[in-house]
């Protein structure tokens, strides 16, 4: 699936509106936090972000570090650092080390405030734009930084609807934005990664195809997961055979001992979506170099 092209136009009106509003407000912004999912560090990075952030300094924040394959994600961190990004990996659920983010922000702001001082201007609050694809952990990050629940969260795309300013402390304000994507998902692997890890709505791609992609990716990259969780040691060319094994292992049975294939798909999708399956990164740096 790596090199195949697709032509999925999934670009809700609110995404186009969000990008326009970001462009209109970007002159008020000092720093950009771009939030990406550590399990898909390439697919979850906004492809056209430079078109509307006006060369503002970017701090890449990799969320869901607790769910990724750290060996592979570390390679992605180095990859982005070599491109000039400041990269911070964070586990927002269990060990949200927010000081690292705020310290990195202060470092970036030193240069900004030095320029302001040279013009006789006083320091002001740091204004941070927070952007990311849907369901990347952006809202959880904002809630952690604010120290309370100020935005809704959930493991489905499309929670945040509008731009809104949020005060973190006396020195930092955040501009929250709805999750955004780019107009055309023309790389099939990217599209399937986004669907597998809940960044686009399931109905955008045939759910059976997404299921097959997950199973094949796990078999190629993490075969032990298939063995331990689903009882599959060798992947059969006939996906229904694999579904039968999963269905019997997980009790997805209808009357007459028939397999409930819809339930099989639902269980596997939910295992990924909810983070039951951990230590996985669906992309390799070598695939994109």
Q: What is the CATH number of the domain that holds 241?
A: 1.10.1580.10
**Residues 90 and 140: beta-carbon distance below 8 Å:** no
Structure tokens, 237? 């060319």
- Tally of CB atoms within 10 A around 202: 16
- Are residue 66 and residue 121 in the same domain, yes or no? yes
- Are residue 170 and residue 252 in the same domain, yes or no? no
53 within some domain: yes
- Closest to 161 (Cα-Cα) out of 135, 179, 139, 181: 179
Model pLDDT, residue 271: 96
- Are residue 33 and residue 169 in the same domain, yes or no? yes
Model pLDDT, residue 152: 54
45 within some domain: yes
- Are residue 107 and residue 159 in the same domain, yes or no? yes
- Are residue 149 and residue 214 in the same domain, yes or no? no
236 within some domain: yes
164-167 β-sheet, strand order: 86-89, 58-63, 31-37, 126-132, 172-176, 164-167
Mean pLDDT for each consecutive 10-residue tract of the chain (289 residues)? 53 79 92 96 93 93 96 97 95 88 92 84 88 91 87 50 83 90 79 88 83 97 97 97 97 93 96 94 91
Task: Give the total number of structural domains in the chain.
Answer: 2
188 within some domain: no
247 within some domain: yes
- State which of 129, 156, 176 marks the end of a domain: 176
- Are residue 61 and residue 151 in the same domain, yes or no? yes
- Are residue 94 and residue 233 in the same domain, yes or no? no
Q: Confirm whether pTM is higher than 0.85.
A: yes
**Residues 131 and 46: beta-carbon distance below 8 Å:** yes
Model pLDDT, residue 1: 41
Model pLDDT, residue 9: 56
Strands annotated E in the chain: 5-8, 31-37, 58-63, 86-89, 126-132, 164-167, 172-176, 185-187
- Are residue 222 and residue 150 in the same domain, yes or no? no
198 within some domain: no
Whole-angstrom Cα distance, residue 89 to residue 257? 46
Model pLDDT, residue 283: 96
- Are residue 24 and residue 109 in the same domain, yes or no? yes
Structural domain harbouring 235 = 206-287
- Are residue 48 and residue 148 in the same domain, yes or no? yes
**Sign (positive or negative) of CA dihedral 158, 160, 163, 167:** negative
- Are residue 18 and residue 149 in the same domain, yes or no? yes
163 within some domain: yes
241's enclosing H/E stretch is helix 239-250
- Are residue 82 and residue 160 in the same domain, yes or no? yes
Three-state SS letters, 94-151: CECCHHHHHHHHHHHHHHHHHHHHHCCCCCCCEEEEEEECCCCCHHHHHHHHHCCCCC
181 within some domain: no
Structure tokens, 26? 């970007």
For residue 25, what is the domain's CATH number? 3.40.50.300
């Amino acid at each position: 699936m790596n090199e195949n092209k697709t032509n999925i136009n999934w670009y809700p009106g609110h995404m186009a509106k969000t990008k326009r509003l970001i462009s209109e407000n970007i002159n008020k912004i000092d720093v950009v936090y771009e939030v990406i999912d550590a399990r898909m560090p390439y697919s979850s990075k906004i492809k056209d972000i430079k078109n509307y952030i006006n060369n503002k300094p970017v701090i890449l924040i990799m969320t869901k570090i607790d769910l990724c394959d750290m060996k592979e994600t570390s390679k992605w961190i180095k990859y982005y650092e070599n491109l000039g990004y400041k990269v911070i990996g964070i586990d927002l659920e269990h060990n949200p080390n927010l000081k690292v983010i705020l310290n990195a922000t202060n470092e970036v702001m030193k240069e900004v405030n030095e320029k302001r001082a040279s013009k006789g201007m006083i320091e002001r609050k740091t204004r941070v734009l927070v952007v990311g694809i849907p369901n990347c952990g952006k809202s959880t990050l904002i809630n952690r930084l604010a120290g309370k629940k100020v935005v809704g969260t959930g493991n489905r795309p499309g929670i945040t609807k509008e731009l809104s300013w949020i005060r973190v402390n006396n020195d930092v304000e955040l501009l929250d934005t709805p999750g955004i994507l780019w107009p055309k998902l023309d790389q099939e692997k990217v599209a399937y990664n986004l669907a597998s890890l809940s960044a686009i709505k399931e109905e955008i791609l045939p759910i059976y195809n997404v299921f097959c992609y997950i199973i094949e990716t796990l078999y190629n990259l993490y075969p032990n997961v298939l063995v331990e969780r689903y009882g599959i040691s060798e992947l059969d060319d006939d996906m229904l055979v694999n579904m039968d094994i999963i269905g019997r292992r997980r009790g997805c049975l209808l009357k007459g001992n028939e397999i409930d294939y819809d339930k099989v798909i639902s269980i596997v999708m939910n295992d990924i979506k909810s983070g039951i399956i951990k230590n996985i990164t669906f992309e390799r740096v070598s695939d994109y170099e």
